[in-house]
Amino acid sequence: MSDELANLTRFLDEHREIFRHKAGGLDHEQLMRTLPPSDLTLGGMVKHLAYVEDWWFGGFLRDEQDELWKGVDWDADNDWDWHSAADDTLEELWALWDRTVERSRAAVAADPRPEREAARRSRRTGNPVELRWIVAHMVEEYARHNGHADLIRQSIDGQTGDPPLHDVPRLPRFAPPANNAAGTPGRRVTIRRMTEEDWPQVWPFFDEIVRAGETYAYPLDLTSEQARGFWTMDPPGQTVVLEEDLPGVGTRVLGSATMGPNRPGRGSHVGTASFMVSADARGRGVGRRLAEYVVQWHRDQGFSAIQFNAVVETNAAAVHLWQDLGFEIIGTVPAAFDSTEHGLVGLHVMHLALD
């Protein structure tokens, strides 16, 4: 990614994080409050920004828009995204925004050239529109609505100011505030060491991801026990799960990560890691939480760097996530992975210095 686009996407991500801070941690009733004489609500803003994300990075950039928006009668209600938010649950609103933001990031990462032309042309001029313009426009969109959100949030509970964007550890970008981790009151999310009792929940999504043939080069005919042997890392490494606890429902595993030395002996000062996320939890920030945990764990254990030996180049979302956390692609082995969808593609070697 060029320095120009990296800076633009960094500004956009910071504005996304500011918006999450200003609108997060509220219940449904609070999200639907207005600040007269305006009829804007924070809940409407969540859904509106999800629509704007999907339009510019999906419909306009790639000519691929989410089915949700295709069925809307915009002539009947041009502000349907704002008004219909009142009919959505808190969890539905945040899940929609999270999912759409992740798709936007993947769309940029798939071809991160500032001069990349969108699939559609400007409706006003008929001229091509470049990716750099779309990202800059989205920065403008979030900046404008963050001003609205600041005033509305202060009127609700007095909260003002921005999150500590440059502090470490950073607020997970897809994850809501810790006291209300996905918009569901009382929901708790925990990353902890995996136990034998967790494997029956990990195995189904491990098997589904491996069989999909897009991200991992494990053998396709693994039994559950064989797969557990591949995935489980013994000390000095470890394997963890991300678990959610819903009141009245119980706990379930949404994802898992394994981490430890990349090589034994004289290579053990450099770490490595992998993670997987259950299909029904993707787009909710689980992968980012696990990725941030992986980086911090390696720092805490005194590793000098993290190296990934085989990141599939067509796995755009993962490549962008690791780059967003500071990893660099230091080389690509051509045609080293046989993708189910894309055929022979390259494997990136990615590196992050921790010193």
Mean pLDDT of the region 210-222: 92
Domain that holds residue 112: 3-157
Predicted pLDDT of residue 3 = 76
What confidence tens digit (pLDDT) does each residue in 66-102 have?
888 988 999 999 999 999 999 999 989 998 998 899 8
- The kind and range of the H/E element at 271 are strand 270-277
Mean pLDDT of the region 138-155: 96
Mean pLDDT of the region 218-247: 92
Predicted pLDDT of residue 348 = 96
Domains: count for the chain: 2
57/63 Cα distance (integer angstroms): 9
Residue 180 has pLDDT above 50, yes or no: no
Residue 194 has pLDDT above 80, yes or no: yes
Mean pLDDT of the region 302-326: 92
Cis, peptide link before residue 247, omega less than 30° from 0 = no
Asked if the structure places residue 36 within a domain, the reply is yes
Residue 116 has pLDDT above 60, yes or no: yes
Residue 27 has pLDDT above 70, yes or no: yes
CATH of residue 124: 1.20.120.450
245/29 Cα distance (integer angstroms): 23
| More confident position, 21 or 117 | 117
For the chain, the average pLDDT equals 88
Judge if 8 and 123 occupy the same domain.
yes
Mean pLDDT of the region 151-155: 95
- For residue 133, CA distances in Å to 4, 99, 105, 118, 137 come to 11, 22, 15, 10, 6
Asked if the structure places residue 226 within a domain, the reply is yes
Which domain-ending residue is among 157, 174, 195? 157
Judge if 96 and 228 occupy the same domain.
no
Choice among 38-47, 50-59, 66-75, 223-232 with the minimum mean pLDDT: 66-75
Mean pLDDT of the region 179-188: 47
Asked if the structure places residue 165 within a domain, the reply is no
Predicted pLDDT of residue 164 = 52
Judge if 231 and 147 occupy the same domain.
no
Q: In terms of Cα–Cα distance, which of 212, 219, 285, 293 is closest to 258? A: 293
First-residue to last-residue Cα distance in the chain:
23
Which domain-ending residue is among 136, 157, 178? 157
Which domain-ending residue is among 109, 142, 157? 157
With a pLDDT cut of 90, the percent of the chain lying above it is 68
312/343 Cα distance (integer angstroms): 12
Asked if the structure places residue 169 within a domain, the reply is no
Mean pLDDT of the region 130-148: 96
**pLDDT band at residue 187 under the 50/70/90 scheme:** low
Predicted pLDDT of residue 1 = 59
Asked if the structure places residue 178 within a domain, the reply is no
Predicted pLDDT of residue 184 = 46
Residue 178 has pLDDT above 80, yes or no: no
**pLDDT band at residue 183 under the 50/70/90 scheme:** very low
CATH of residue 293: 3.40.630.30
Residue 177 has pLDDT above 70, yes or no: no
Judge if 68 and 216 occupy the same domain.
no
Predicted pLDDT of residue 168 = 31
Choice among 80-89, 243-252, 313-322 with the minimum mean pLDDT: 243-252
Judge if 150 and 208 occupy the same domain.
no
Judge if 199 and 148 occupy the same domain.
no
Q: In terms of Cα–Cα distance, which of 171, 191, 244, 190 is closest to 25? A: 171
Predicted pLDDT of residue 223 = 94
Asked if the structure places residue 277 within a domain, the reply is yes
Predicted pLDDT of residue 186 = 52
pTM reported for the whole predicted model = 0.53
Judge if 122 and 245 occupy the same domain.
no
| More confident position, 23 or 165 | 23
Residue 267 has pLDDT above 50, yes or no: yes
Judge if 149 and 239 occupy the same domain.
no
Mean pLDDT of the region 301-328: 92
What confidence tens digit (pLDDT) does each residue in 276-292 have?
999 878 777 889 899 99
Asked if the structure places residue 168 within a domain, the reply is no
Judge if 316 and 230 occupy the same domain.
yes
141/284 Cα distance (integer angstroms): 22
198/71 Cα distance (integer angstroms): 40
Judge if 323 and 231 occupy the same domain.
yes
Residue 2 has pLDDT above 50, yes or no: yes
Predicted pLDDT of residue 334 = 96
Judge if 310 and 254 occupy the same domain.
yes
Judge if 116 and 260 occupy the same domain.
no
Asked if the structure places residue 179 within a domain, the reply is no
Q: What is the largest CA-CA distance in the chain?
A: 68
